[in-house]
Structure 1
């Protein structure tokens, strides 16, 4: 990754050799990525299988959740390469093209998850605050699929430069795969990195907070429709708001705060090696939190969708009954 035990190119100054003590990556990242892989892969496959199995009753929220699970699944498939890379002390033997692809998949998953969670939250907001609006009813699943197509195009356009900036390089006689960019391109990467944070995180996060503030005000009012159905819809919306807010707070917020700070510091002339190392460690230490969204997203799905929570139980009972009959 960036500037690991290598040479830092500082703007308008000669190269400065900074030896980073980053043994924590070998201890932290392989176990965390292994947990994300082992848990995230089957969970997202189950989500995709269950939504596809119930496609006749597919809702707009389910369409967004399906695309969210696909984004998480693509990222989980790239984790074995990263696990090997960090277990070998930042040695990347898989080539430059694979390096660029893995970095692209990480950021595409990250910003795709942010946008699809925002779509799910906005859909929940419309269902509670504007349930009878004609512009809300129009389009149905087809409109949801069009929105998902637009999200994938936007994510690809946003994250494609990551595949351009990411590259392999040599450090201490070993090949490494830079995450953001090679150190010499730090100042060129800075405008893009800041724009990606604003467009890919800050704007969706602001929109999501606005939706949930309006949603909270509506749920707290006592003049809404009564009855068990209305109460269930309100409870479901409240659960969705709490869990999505938790996903943003755990996965996305720390990563973007530390990444932004690191981008600013590494592009500032004359910064000392200890300061660079501290900001680099803080940024790289939050990457596992960002990766954890591949596990948190399917948990969010099962926590907020009661009918899908019942399906694994039914399948397990059927398999248990079948095994018992065969054993007799």
Structure 2
């Protein structure tokens, strides 16, 4: 997910960092994410819309996850064009604020929705009977609504911090904030990291630790969860842990280190350069979650994969004229400084 870089802070300009790699690296990575993320998330939403039965709790969480991904993916063409132009932002301040806001919205709504999915799976595995009153569609809808409300409230300050400015004669879109507002943004960024990433990660870690302990006890695991539910739980654990290990953890570690070094009064140019490079390399890679989240949908249950193949086969045979072998009735559709 993106962050518009520019010749960022006074410290970086003083240290004479070369960031020419961004023009190729960021344009290429965002293009790949756009090409993969748009059809993958669009397919999941299409399959969910055509589903002939009420959505399960897991489907409600995953559909909201795909909506967040799709909103972000649709902003990537602006970033691709900007980096192709060498960090020039030609779209005005309103779109600058919107693109920044949607990046963080996707990031932290994804983390919170994955937390909801993990808690839901934990209750189903470790407390299958006692948790039945809480594992309902009503509670899933309440959970997603609460998630969106919390994310929007947390991220409202980004609409103030994100802004455009002129650097070396061309307009740039600051990812975090302008250099003069950096000290205020640093405090906000650290609080956001703790509340939006560290705390949900701790909840997920506790849930999965208890699930693994339960599932690795043969008699108790089989008694609490059938073989199908057991396989779903194992897939969920592996996939969510992989998402955090590949996308969210490296991003937040490198970002926190980068911001901390910028905040310190004494600057070590070599250390700052390494932190800046690591952060800006991992920055677009956190966006890979937009391509990996749909995989969670298809691997969370065999029915999702089967339905995809059935829909594709139905569309193919449905091309036959009416009355031929391919015809069949259709069921009713229910339903931070610049980077």
TM (normalized to structure 1)? Answer: 0.91
User: Among residues 80, 84, 105, which one is paired with 1:87 in the alignment?
Assistant: 84
User: Among residues 174, 185, 202, which one is paired with 1:189 in the alignment?
Assistant: 185
Counterpart contact for 2:11–2:262, Cα < 8 Å:
no
For the pair 1:299 / 2:295, whether they are aligned, the reply is yes
C-alpha displacement of 1:138: 4.0
For the pair 1:154 / 2:156, whether they are aligned, the reply is no
Kindly report which structure 2 residues correspond to 1:179-258, keeping only aligned pairs within 5 A, or say none. 179-224=175-220, 226=222, 230-258=226-254
Kindly report which structure 2 residues correspond to 1:120-159, keeping only aligned pairs within 5 A, or say none. 120-133=117-130, 135-138=131-134, 140-159=136-155
Q: Distance in 2 between matches of 1:63 and 1:18?
A: 48
CA-based RMSD: 2.3
Q: Distance in 1 between matches of 2:45 and 2:296?
A: 14
User: Among residues 96, 99, 104, which one is paired with 1:99 in the alignment?
Assistant: 96
- Deviations along 1:76-129, one digit per CA (max 9) or x if unpaired, are 111110111111110001111111110110001000000001111111111111
Q: Which has the higher contact order (CA 8 A, sep 6+)?
A: 2
User: Among residues 116, 120, 130, which one is paired with 1:119 in the alignment?
Assistant: 116
Q: Partner of 1:78 in structure 2?
A: 75
Q: Partner of 2:330 in structure 1?
A: none
- Deviations along 1:253-303, one digit per CA (max 9) or x if unpaired, are 000001000111111113144443332221111112111110010011112
Structure 2 residues without counterparts, runs of 5 or longer: 323-339
Change (3 A) 1:213 1:241: same
Change (3 A) 1:177 1:274: farther
C-alpha displacement of 1:142: 1.2
Q: Distance in 2 between matches of 1:2 and 1:308?
A: 36
Q: Distance in 2 between matches of 1:318 and 1:2?
A: 43
Counterpart contact for 1:2–1:181, Cα < 8 Å:
no
Structure 1 residues without counterparts, runs of 5 or longer: 11-15
User: Among residues 58, 63, 68, which one is paired with 1:66 in the alignment?
Assistant: 63
User: Among residues 43, 46, 51, which one is paired with 1:46 in the alignment?
Assistant: 43
C-alpha displacement of 1:248: 0.5
User: Among residues 4, 7, 15, which one is paired with 2:6 in the alignment?
Assistant: 4
Counterpart contact for 1:72–1:109, Cα < 8 Å:
yes
User: Aligned residues, how many?
Assistant: 321
Counterpart contact for 1:9–1:184, Cα < 8 Å:
no
The range that moved more, 242-251 or 305-314, is: 305-314
Q: 3-state DSSP class of the match of 1:211?
A: helix
Q: Distance in 2 between matches of 1:209 and 1:161?
A: 29
Is the helix fraction higher in 1 or 2? 1
Counterpart contact for 2:215–2:221, Cα < 8 Å:
no
- Deviations along 1:105-160, one digit per CA (max 9) or x if unpaired, are 00010000000011111111111111101x54247111111111110010001111
